[in-house]
Amino acid sequence: MTAPHCRTKIVATLGPASSDLDTIRDLALAGADVFRFNFSHGTHDDHAARYRIVRQVEKEIGRPIGILADVQGPKLRVGRFAEGRVVLETGRPFRLDLDETPGDVTRVSLPHHEIISVAKPGSVLLLDDGKLKLSVTTVGKDFLETEVVVGGTLSDHKGVNVPDLILPIPALTQKDRDDLDFALNLGVDFVALSFVQRAEDVVEARTLTNGRAWIVAKLEKPQAMDNLEAILDVTDAVMVARGDLGVELPPETVPLAQKRITRLARTLGKPVIVATQMLESMISAPTPTRAEASDVATAVYDGADAVMLSAESAAGKYPREAVTIMNRIVQSVEADKGWQAVMKAGRLEPENYVADAIAGAAEQIAGTLGAGAIVAYTRSGPTALRLARERPFSPILGVTPTETTARRLTLVWGVQAFVEDPGSHVHNTETMVTAAVEIAVRSGVTKPGDTIVIAAGMPFGVSGSTNTLRVARIPDADA
């Protein structure tokens, strides 16, 4: 049985615990709208097999499913130790250099000249997800002398974070380029770009994707927060990747960053995903903690387009339960009068152009009439995106002539997508209304006697031409 449709979408990561047909089908029926393929793990063959299964499930259940390819990005790591690990003591010196000789308690290789080239005395390096902290004391041509500020055990190839430096490295490594080429040829709908620092990182990826997928900029660096507006201007969507963001920013500022990103993305009509550790305890437990449930609810109250599961669905013991419970939390919030008041209070003023004025008017009319649905004819997605920006209480039925657009709309708040080519049988306003009524009935979200609001562009087939608004009524059952 399919879970009731929520306005806030669910992204579920696939992995070893969720790669077979039955599990992927169950996750989709439990409420997953988009499946994430994590290219930090698994082979191309693994991802290709999952892709085929997702598309099979999509046909079985009869609704579009989005697929997001998350490329790894540059991974900064220390080298190896002669004995596999050392214990660094607070207050002691420790050297990082380009020498590949296995390290000891006094030094280790740091095979990233880019860090050394921009570091300066006082720069901070965080090791192993922030568990250890070093402060640079001396910068050499091929080494850094540091003092251990927070000590602990450090083992081979642990990660390095540099929160206060902009590194002169591209957001896409050669591995990422290979993965990106593979994913695009496979036919993914979204590409998540890791460790974005500047708008230029997104522009580079956009050149490579060439319109074949929406770009999701992952915001996990303090530098990205400094350049947030510029990044949002050039990306299609964003992800609040709270894992690395939580390492490089003080913990107390992460919730503020999440709210700032969500607010600004919504203002610009760009979908935003809130990710990382949302139901973390469900990797090994059948139910989440109360704090985790509140975390998901907070993202929904903030108006996020989507909430995401990572290891919970990819490698945990309870992937089905994680999606089911996340869906139930979202449903509960969206049924709450307090959530409705928050959405209403946060509605934005339409911008000064026709399509946005139409979207704003559609929301107002739908609210006044208690419309059963808003039908949005959209070729490449902008009409549905503008309507979603208004956060209407009526479901948005996005009608598009292409599977590509329908799958991309799976990430957009409140939109249920339908593949239907209106240009093939809609020739005037009257036939447009007739077709919209048929789609509204088929969707199952309306009932006889309901009013629907229709937003479209005339003539059909011209992207970005939204200029028409109509109101129609679903015929009574005995009509």
pLDDT tens for each residue of 96-139: 999 999 999 999 999 999 999 999 999 999 999 899 999 999 99
Residue 432 to residue 420: CA distance in whole angstroms? 12
Confidence at residue 464, expressed as pLDDT on a 0 to 100 scale: 60
206 is catalytic: no
Find the catalytic residue in 13, 235, 276, 324.
Answer: 276
Out of 21-35, 160-174, 415-429, give the one with best mean pLDDT: 21-35
Is residue 463's pLDDT more than 70?
Answer: no
Find the catalytic residue in 25, 75, 77, 260.
Answer: 77
Q: Give, as one character, the DSSP assignment of residue 103.
A: B
Which of these, 467, 395, 394, 473, lies nearest to 437 by C-alpha position?
Answer: 473
Residue 255 to residue 169: CA distance in whole angstroms? 28
Q: Looking up tokens 């009526």, which residue turns up?
A: 394
| CA angle (181, 384, 471) in 5-degree steps | 155
**Averaged pLDDT for residues 300-316:** 97
What are the sequence ranges of the domains in the chain? 9-74+171-333, 85-161, 347-473
Average pLDDT, rounded, for the chain: 93
Span 394-431, pLDDT tens digits: 999 999 999 999 999 999 999 999 998 766 666 677 88
Is residue 462's pLDDT more than 70?
Answer: no
328 is catalytic: no
Find the catalytic residue in 7, 9, 13, 36.
Answer: 36
**Averaged pLDDT for residues 272-281:** 96
Class of domain 347-473: alpha beta
Domain covering 9-74+171-333 assigned CATH 3.50.50.60 in the classification:
no
276 is catalytic: yes
25 is catalytic: no
**Averaged pLDDT for residues 442-470:** 84
Confidence at residue 427, expressed as pLDDT on a 0 to 100 scale: 62
**Averaged pLDDT for residues 49-69:** 97
Between 180 and 167, whose confidence is greater?
180
Is residue 461's pLDDT more than 80?
Answer: no
Is residue 1's pLDDT more than 60?
Answer: no
Q: Which amino acid is at 222?
A: P
Which of these, 189, 367, 393, 365, lies nearest to 303 by C-alpha position?
Answer: 393
Confidence at residue 476, expressed as pLDDT on a 0 to 100 scale: 85
Q: What spatial distance separates the first Cα and last Cα of the chain, rounded to whole Å?
A: 31
Confidence at residue 352, expressed as pLDDT on a 0 to 100 scale: 76
Helices then strands, counting H and E runs in the chain, come out as 17, 21
Residue 99 to residue 334: CA distance in whole angstroms? 56
Q: pLDDT over 90 for what percent of the chain?
A: 80
Confidence at residue 22, expressed as pLDDT on a 0 to 100 scale: 98
Between 468 and 331, whose confidence is greater?
331
Between 95 and 401, whose confidence is greater?
95
Give domain 85-161's CATH number out of 2.40.33.10, 3.30.300.30, 3.90.470.20, 3.50.50.60: 2.40.33.10
Confidence at residue 467, expressed as pLDDT on a 0 to 100 scale: 82
- Please write down the long-range contacts of 361-368, taking CB distance under 8 Å and 24 or more positions apart: 361/469, 362/387, 362/390, 362/392, 362/453, 362/455, 362/469, 363/387, 363/390, 363/391, 363/392, 365/453, 365/469, 365/471, 366/392, 366/393, 366/394, 366/453, 367/392, 367/393, 367/394
- pTM, two decimals, is 0.92
**Averaged pLDDT for residues 248-266:** 92
Find the catalytic residue in 63, 107, 158, 218.
Answer: 218
Is residue 479's pLDDT more than 60?
Answer: no
**Averaged pLDDT for residues 444-458:** 91
